[in-house]
Amino acid sequence: MKSKFGSILFSLAKALLFLSLIAVFFIGQYTFYLETITYFWGNFVVMLIYSAFIYFTSRVYHAFSFGNSKWYELVLSWILCLILANAIQYLILSLMQLSLLPIRGFIIIYAIQIILIIPLSIIIDKLYYSIYPAKTALIIYGKEKKAHEYQAIINKHHRKYKITRIASQDETIESLLRYVRNSESVFFLDVDEKVREHLLEYCFSQNKRIYLMPSFSGILVNTAEIFWFSNTPMFLPKSPEIDLGTKFIKRILDIVISLLAIIITSWIMVIAWIIIRLYDRAPAIYKQTRVTRGGKHFTIYKFRSMRPDAEDDGIPRLTSREDDRITPFGRFIRKTRVDELPQFFNVLSGSMSVVGPRPERPEIAAQYQEQYPNFAFRTKVKAGITGFAQIYGQYNTAPEDKLLLDIMYIETLSIWQDIKLMLQTVKVLFKASSTEGVENNSTTALK
């Protein structure tokens, strides 16, 4: 009963947050733009449209993910949500007036919404953890190395999970069942199928919360259609081939987005080019061979962030955490992603897409594929500037994990998915960890 009441209270708190933002907007509209709506029912139409935009953007940026994100990360999500929703609403109201409205009112509305968001996010965050205290967690692993990696990750969410035991799949089934019985949540990391199936049945019967590390086959099954042979269900994984309609729309989207990006950021690129040239008189644009769809090679363009002699030893390597090859201005453009801007010319020419697996260097891709043969599956689609691996992973994410993220993207590829990933990319720009290099003295992300 207590849990049900807490769930209702938490839902009401989120509803209050949502309605408060809408209320601020419409009070502001009546204060600053009373002339925009000249008939009574028009107010309700505009309110519904704005509510739909807020709901849409909150889903894209996971702005209601209390318990999965820290409160300040959610505030950042709301900042982006409101920028997008308010900008669209501004354009709609301006079109209704057939002229651009004064921007001052929208700035005041936005400022009040953000001021409101901060205390409400903190309050709802505290409410969540008072209603849902940390659950005891068990980690069952197949590879000890993975267990330690994910223990560190789960420990970052110590307010939600309390790890009470880490157990190897090689322990007796009786011991593992006892550990499961004494835990509220169970994490399965690379556990053999036979052991996992037995334990999953028990977890399911005992209503335990289950977390499974995805595998290549698991992703294919998860995104598969159900095909019936008489009365026998079979899974039919999706074909990695993109239909012609999706290819055409995706290409049109690439052209439009890349042209807009080049026009909007042209002044930034000019300034970056000048600073890099003045620093050491070497070329400002860095050209490098990368791999794209079908294993084809192409030349990628980036602003040079390293010394001109960075790879004079002839050894291809990723950037390390304390890489002394990076120039002072290079560190800045890497953190702000300014170094990536010339890649929009790659997108415009057709050698890359805005969304797709990150293109690897041929030599490094070959090393990854030697250890993970399925790594070549990433080249089923065109390489991209952003994507699942770029948003949910990091520069130094292990190639095995990058592969799984890219397979997820390929298997769920759609125009709607691409649009969401483009919007989510803006949030990644504020995450310094996403550009963190590999371990010092490493040449690839292999560990």
Tokens found for residue 395: 């520069």
String of b and e for 79-102 (b: at least 16 CB within 10 Å)?
Answer: bbbbebbbeebbeebeebeeeebe
Tokens found for residue 326: 């990076």
Q: What confidence tens digit (pLDDT) does each residue in 84-118 have?
A: 999 998 898 888 788 888 899 999 999 999 999 99
**Residue 447 domain-assigned (yes or no):** no
Which pLDDT score, from 0 to 100, does residue 244 have? 87
* Average pLDDT of the residues in 259-282: 93
* Rounded (to 5) percent helix, strand, coil in the chain: 60, 15, 30
Cα–chain center distance at 128 = 23
Helix (H/G/I), strand (E/B), else coil: 252: helix
Asked if 172 and 248 sit in the same domain, the reply is no
Asked if 379 and 249 sit in the same domain, the reply is yes
Which pLDDT score, from 0 to 100, does residue 190 have? 86
Burial of 353 (0-12, 13-18, 19+ CB in 10 A): buried
Residue 439 has pLDDT above 80, yes or no: no
Question: CA 298 to CA 291: how far, in whole Å?
Answer: 6
Asked if 107 and 144 sit in the same domain, the reply is no
Tokens found for residue 348: 């415009």
pTM of the model: 0.82
Asked if 266 and 290 sit in the same domain, the reply is yes
Q: Which of 83, 101, 131 is the last residue of a domain?
A: 131
Q: What confidence tens digit (pLDDT) does each residue in 345-361 have?
A: 999 999 999 999 999 88
Residue 82 has pLDDT above 90, yes or no: yes
**Residue 220 domain-assigned (yes or no):** no
* Average pLDDT of the residues in 52-70: 91
Residue 367 has pLDDT above 60, yes or no: yes
Asked if 45 and 151 sit in the same domain, the reply is no
* Average pLDDT of the residues in 141-154: 83
Q: Which of 113, 131, 149 is the last residue of a domain?
A: 131
Least confident segment among 35-39, 282-286, 366-370, 388-392:
35-39
**Residue 446 domain-assigned (yes or no):** no
Q: Which of 109, 131, 153 is the last residue of a domain?
A: 131
Question: CA 261 to CA 352: how far, in whole Å?
Answer: 14
**Domain count of the chain?**
3
Cα–chain center distance at 153 = 17
Q: Tell me the pLDDT band of 145, cut-offs 50, 70 and 90.
A: confident
Tokens found for residue 432: 């310094």
Asked if 93 and 145 sit in the same domain, the reply is no
**Residue 223 domain-assigned (yes or no):** no
Helix (H/G/I), strand (E/B), else coil: 447: coil
* Average pLDDT of the residues in 385-403: 81
Which pLDDT score, from 0 to 100, does residue 402 have? 83
Asked if 387 and 337 sit in the same domain, the reply is yes
Which pLDDT score, from 0 to 100, does residue 372 have? 83
**Residue 179 domain-assigned (yes or no):** yes
* Structural domain boundaries, residue 367: 244-435
Which pLDDT score, from 0 to 100, does residue 437 have? 46
Q: Name 178's Cβ contacts closer than 8 Å, sequence gap at least 6.
A: none
Residue 226 forms beta bridges with which residues? 235
Q: Give the CA angle between residues 336, 337, 342 to the nearest 5°.
A: 140
**Residue 237 domain-assigned (yes or no):** no
Asked if 148 and 184 sit in the same domain, the reply is yes
> Residues for the chain: how many in total?
447
* Average pLDDT of the residues in 10-15: 93
Which pLDDT score, from 0 to 100, does residue 215 have? 81
Q: Tell me the pLDDT band of 1, cut-offs 50, 70 and 90.
A: very low
**Residue 367 domain-assigned (yes or no):** yes
Least confident segment among 16-30, 36-50, 246-260, 401-415:
36-50
Q: What confidence tens digit (pLDDT) does each residue in 282-333 have?
A: 889 989 999 999 889 999 999 998 887 767 666 666 666 667 788 888 889 9
Asked if 372 and 405 sit in the same domain, the reply is yes
Asked if 287 and 345 sit in the same domain, the reply is yes
Q: What confidence tens digit (pLDDT) does each residue in 166-212 have?
A: 999 999 999 999 999 999 999 998 888 888 888 999 999 989 999 98
Q: Please report the beta strands in 169-315, taking only residues with DSSP state E, as ranges in sequence order.
A: 185-189, 209-212, 225-229, 232-236, 285-291, 297-303
Least confident segment among 65-79, 228-242, 288-302:
228-242
* Average pLDDT of the residues in 60-64: 92
